[in-house]
Amino acid sequence: MQFVSMIDQETIQRIMDAARIEEVIGDFVSLKKRGANHIGCCPFHNEKTPSFYVSPSKGIFKCFGCGEAGDVVSFLKKHEHFTYPEALRWLAKKYNIEIQEEEQTQEQKERQNERDALFHLSEFAQQYFADLLYNDEMGRAVGLSYFHGRGLSDEIIKRFGLGYCLDEWTNFTDHARKNGYSDTILEKTGLTIFKDPESQTPNSELRRKAYDRFRGRVMFPIYSISGRVLGFSGRVLSSEKQAAKYVNSPDSDIYNKSRILYGLFQARSAISKADKCYLVEGNIDVISMHQSGVENTVASCGTSLTTEQIRLIKRYTPNVTVLYDGDSAGIKAALRAVNLLFAEGMHVRCVLFPDGEDPDSYAQKNGSTALQEYLATHEDNFLIFKTRVLLDGVKNDPIRKAELVKDTVATIALVPDLIERTEYIAQCAHLLDVPEEALASELSKAINQNRLKAYEEEKKTTTQEKPDNPVNPEFPATPNPEPRTSNPELPTDPSERHLIQLLLNYGNHTIDFPVTAEDGSQQYDTYSLAELVVNELQADELSFTDPLCQQVYQYYCDAIDRGEAPDASRFITIDDEALRSFAISLMLDTYRISDTWRQKQVFVPSLEDNLQSDLTETILTFKMKCVDGRIADNARSFREAKTEEDIDRLLAEKKQLVDLRRQIGLMLHRVIN
């Protein structure tokens, strides 16, 4: 039985009617309104200039950088790696739409594929650990007591889904097995560790020895941006010296710690609203900050800060404030992170807590109000902070000062924005007591070295042999992909593109078309725009040279021939990715009329205001292009003609084409030679 069959068509329509694409995508991408659309940085590729458009009126999105396009469901499928029914269920939950469930079959319990099973087991484990925390005697005595001892309220504990794994070898594994989860999935999530038996005899048990990875630990579930459980971080509570303080889930098909930020699911809205992200070291720091009202806080998941994690933050804000412990280790960690942040174009500030303090301990001792005041009054520009910290260790040593200057300049060289670099040079020159000209000269050298290094790395990468089909579990490679042109979405002729744009956006608009009656009087017949285009082109047996344009046009031809009203929305969900992306790029109007004209009370007509004249001009321009093509074909045939009969025929054909071209030119009010 297919999982999708559990959602009936009426419910699907209710979900799609309720879903607002700008709200859904806004949960994952920081969007700004621009005219009728919203715009932001694309979540599917790294970019510094926003090229990702969302149209609320048409319910579509389109990235003009990488080409990704679709509706709200296709966005969730791509971004969250949902199946179609999973995307619908996510939307139903967001908009409080009840889905009537049928009783699950055994086949459904085993899930549709391994990736789904990993997600479902992770969610199952989170619910089990959270239940033990409150409803098991040891869970309350050990796990809940620990969290309460750290000053965490029940509300914040439940908000972050915290839990406890019993200190028993196979408690969770046994529970999961009883509920139908296989050893294969238990091992791949990392929730269970399996070891081969030390010896095997004919009568020995062949089943591998299993034990819970997180036994005896309080559990911190790690969520995706949309709230799916991806993995766990477990903190030991025993005093065993050999036990690691924190144990994290191993990387899997659904979890990669270098691409996840702890707390981002809970913090994303607050980050967008504040236009700032606080970055801390540990899970407890994140939770304590949220409890203190500073909800725009995240942490790296058991790893040093990575480029992928920085880009996750950048989806919501370019402003990052790094919070680290006030000891020497905290300062060194802060300095290690700064270059990566600057290289990604982030605006970086920092707050250093008093020696021996961290965000959690400071909040516990002083309260949430004092914490917020401390953050507001102790923020410092990160690069200036770094320069001051390192300058304290230089004293009067000229060699160490020269090294500091080079180190500072190397960091400034990573800043992409020219104005920001200039301002940093001025401030650091003052701090270091070095002429601005000297720093600017060193900066120029550093930038050139970075460019040369990047060029050499790119050259090295392109010359290395690459596998024909590199394997990526999240984005499987297409076997033997066709080479792509520099911009496959743009037809070579703009009249083709604009004619298809009119069909997609105004195909069902009616136009009163003038006709001459038998008595010579002027009358008007009403046609849809699609009917006018199809009738005009079919009468002259014209077609499009661009295959994507021709596919769209052919759909309209077929619909008109059947007497049906064409539905452009079919191209939003069509399986053909190239055709879908192309159609949406034409349906999405990325231009807007400047507010200046409105302020000056100047009326600027829209495309719809002049639809009839625009259609007439576009059809004539398209016909002119087709005639030019036939004239070019005639010239080639003339050069290859062998008999006088062929030459005379081609000359007569050329004259007809040239006369036709002149007639079209007169209708377009153009001078045609």
Residue 224 pLDDT: 87
Strand pairing report for 319-324 and 277-280: parallel
In the structure, how many helices (H) and strands (E) does the chain have? 27, 19
Of residues 597 and 118, the one with the higher pLDDT is: 118
Of residues 83 and 580, the one with the higher pLDDT is: 580
Q: How far apart are CA 508 and CA 568, in angstroms?
A: 9
Residue 214 has pLDDT above 90, yes or no: yes
Residue 183 pLDDT: 93
Mean pLDDT check: name the lowest of 311-325, 453-467, 583-597.
453-467
Residue 216 pLDDT: 94
Helix or strand or coil: residue 545?
coil
| 597: Cβ contacts below 8 Å, ≥ 6 apart | 603, 604
Domain ranges of the chain: 3-106, 112-198+205-255, 264-454, 494-587, 595-667
Q: How far apart are CA 278 and CA 299, in angstroms?
A: 8
Amino acid residing at 438? A
Per-residue pLDDT of 411-431, as tens digits, reads 888 888 888 888 989 999 988
Per-residue pLDDT of 628-662, as tens digits, reads 888 888 888 888 888 888 888 888 888 888 888 88
**Secondary element (H or E) of residue 432:** helix 418-432
Sign of the Cα pseudo-torsion (472, 473, 475, 477, in order):
positive
> CA–CA distance from 640 to each of 4, 635, 653, 656 (Å)?
60, 9, 15, 20
pLDDT interval class at 100 (50, 70, 90)? low
- The mean pLDDT of 203-223, rounded to a whole number, is 84
E runs forming strands in 141-191: 163-165
Of residues 204 and 41, the one with the higher pLDDT is: 41
Q: What percent of the chain has pLDDT over 90?
A: 24
DSSP 8-class letter at 602: -
Residue 249 pLDDT: 94
What is this structure's pTM? Answer: 0.65
| 426: Cβ contacts below 8 Å, ≥ 6 apart | 436
Sign of the Cα pseudo-torsion (556, 618, 583, 15, in order):
negative
C-beta of residue 398 within 8 angstroms of C-beta of residue 406: no
Q: How far apart are CA 127 and CA 221, in angstroms?
A: 10
Of residues 26 and 240, the one with the higher pLDDT is: 26
Residue 466 has pLDDT above 50, yes or no: no
Residue 448 pLDDT: 85
Mean pLDDT check: name the lowest of 6-20, 114-128, 435-449.
6-20
Of residues 278 and 577, the one with the higher pLDDT is: 278
Residue 469 has pLDDT above 50, yes or no: no
**Domain 112-198+205-255, CATH among 3.90.980.10, 3.40.47.10, 1.10.10.10, 1.10.3720.10:** 3.90.980.10
What torsion do the CA atoms of 420, 423, 427, 428 make, to the nearest 10 degrees?
Answer: 60
Q: How far apart are CA 341 and CA 50, in angstroms?
A: 19
Residue 198 pLDDT: 61
C-beta of residue 257 within 8 angstroms of C-beta of residue 231: yes
Which tokens sit at 365?
């001792």
Amino acid residing at 192? T
- The mean pLDDT of 351-356, rounded to a whole number, is 83
Q: How far apart are CA 313 and CA 635, in angstroms?
A: 59
Mean pLDDT check: name the lowest of 79-88, 231-240, 596-605.
596-605
Q: Which fold has domain 3-106?
A: DNA Primase; Chain A (3.90.580)
Per-residue pLDDT of 279-291, as tens digits, reads 998 899 999 999 9
Helix axes 328-343, 307-314, angle to 10 degrees: 70
- The mean pLDDT of 131-135, rounded to a whole number, is 96
Of residues 275 and 609, the one with the higher pLDDT is: 275
- Please name every residue paired with 52 in a beta bridge, in sequence order, or none if there are none: 40, 63
Of residues 116 and 373, the one with the higher pLDDT is: 373
pLDDT interval class at 523 (50, 70, 90)? confident
φ and ψ at 222, to 5 degrees? -110, 125
pLDDT interval class at 330 (50, 70, 90)? low
DSSP 8-class letter at 65: T
Mind spelling out the 3-state secondary structure of 302-361? CCCCCHHHHHHHHCCCCEEEEEECCCHHHHHHHHHHHHHHHHCCCEEEEEECCCCCCHHH
CATH number given to 264-454: 3.40.1360.10
Helix or strand or coil: residue 169?
coil
- Please name every residue paired with 33 in a beta bridge, in sequence order, or none if there are none: 38
C-beta of residue 55 within 8 angstroms of C-beta of residue 37: yes
> CA–CA distance from 258 to each of 116, 220, 249, 286, 307 (Å)?
21, 17, 12, 17, 8
Dump the DSSP string for 191-240.
SEEEE--S---TTS--SPEEEETTTTEEEEEEE-TTS-EEEEEEEE-S--
φ and ψ at 195, to 5 degrees? -130, 140
Residue 132 has pLDDT above 90, yes or no: yes
Helix or strand or coil: residue 37?
strand
